[in-house]
Each structure stands twice: as structure tokens, then as C-alpha cells.
Structure 1
């Protein structure tokens, strides 16, 4: 598996992000969907990576800098057909390492509270993330789980 910076130009990335947005809207009420579309992922505060096995896309993830000490994980996604093969864990490990390289002190995320998000919450908890309150521009939302970890 190769994890590399991604410029969001590959059609496979477009398809995965479309799958991600459709899934988020299917699982959560509209006002509780915090997934970013392609254009919003191009914001200068966001860095984006993809994981590949040759020409096969295994997943993607992004970091959004909230301030010089705090970053947020965004757009963690593995294609439905590629789940449970280690790409999510590898991407998360990569993001934690990148956050440390950038000398952030805290790494946070928002994910869903619904049962469909339980595997994601378990992945994050196993990587040392703990529940926290809303951060950044988020508001308290019963459909959201906020998690953080110090670095």
C-alpha cells in the first residue's frame, strides 16, 4: 500500500468522495452531515492523501489545520468493496504521524453517533482518541460524536 499526497484530480477519488457524501446523507440528517465536497476539500487549510495498491484506490483522508496546534481529521473513507483490509488503520496512522511532524499538539475529529459509524468510532478509540465536546465551528449535535487525542 502506498499513501501519497493527492491533488483531488483522479476520477477514482471523485467517485470515492461521491460515495462518501451519499453515505453520510443516507446515515445522518442533512444538518448533521459535516463531510466536505470536492471543492471544499481544496481549501488551502486542508491537506489530502490517498492510499493505493497499484492502480486500485484503497481509501483517502485529509487533515484540516484549525490553528498551529490543532488539526482535524476529515474525509476518512475506504470504498465499500475494500473495507476491513487495513487501509483505514494505515491512513489513520499516517495522519497521526503527519500531525506529529507538523507539531500539532491535538488531533480531533467528528463522526456520526449512529450504529453505522460504530466501526469508525472503534478505529479511532483504538488509536487513542477519546470523546470530547465540540471543537472548531461545530455545535453540540446528538448525531455527532467528537473525539480528540493529544500528540
Structure 2
């Protein structure tokens, strides 16, 4: 199984769903339309491609691009052929919601909860979408790049020590 073969198979089954494709470090990486991601992942698992292992789901935040500010990244693996693929979907922060993959991969449950917890991305159809690692009363999503990197309230720091 090659990157070209899988790319062609997805493009034939879902014409127009692939927005971008690349191969960083040899890993087939596709940006998929948000509304098509669940159909594409279901097809990858149930078709002859047999990409049946969900390695990871994570979020990403690009605050400079308001149309593609938040994203969800899926890493999938066909263990028989040792083939890996990365799928990405992007959305504006105001509409940070994507379909849950828990019906396809039960392991998606906690990964989606973690992504919700840290980025605020909602997963439609998730059976128990709530904070998993942070305090439920925290009130913000800590991985969003909305906060200063340093705590301006600290008094024990002297900027001269850091060459400023």
C-alpha cells in the first residue's frame, strides 16, 4: 500500500473532500472537509484499505487564521501493511464542532475528551463529553494560544537574569 494508492482511493470515493495533501517525512497527510471527516474515516476502516487502528486524536490552534483557527488531527494506522495516515480538519473558533468517532473507534472516547478539555472543540455525538484532565470548573481551555507565555504577576523574576 502506497501513499499514492490511498490518496487516489479516497479521492475516487469522496471527490472534492480532500482540500490539501502533502507527505511530510513520507507520512500521507490530508486536510479533509469538516463535514466529510466521519465518512472518510469510516471508509478507511471498513474498506479494503483496512486502516483499523486509531493512534491519536489531538487539537491544534492557529490564532492568526480565523477561518482555520482550530483543528483536529487524526493519526490512523493499518497494522497489517504498516501504513500510516494523518487526517486534519479545520474550523473557525466560533464553530468548533466536529463529528465524534466513538462509533467507529471506541478508543476515540478519551482522546476526544482530552481535545475538548484542552482546546474547547466539541464532538457531536460523543457519549460523555466533559473535562478529563483539567478541573471542570477551570473556565478556559489551556492549550489555546490566548494567554501570555509568562506570568506577569510574578515578583520573584528579574528580567535582567534573562537578558532583557
Query: What TM-score range do you get, normalising by the shorter chain?
Result: 0.3 to 0.5
TM-score, reference length from structure 1: 0.33
TM-score, reference length from structure 2: 0.31
Question: Between Structure 1 and Structure 2, which shows a larger proportion of helix residues?
Answer: 1
The structure having more radius of gyration, on CA atoms, is 2
Question: Between Structure 1 and Structure 2, which shows a larger proportion of strand residues?
Answer: 1
Higher relative contact order, structure no. (Cα contacts within 8 Å, ≥ 6 residues apart): 1
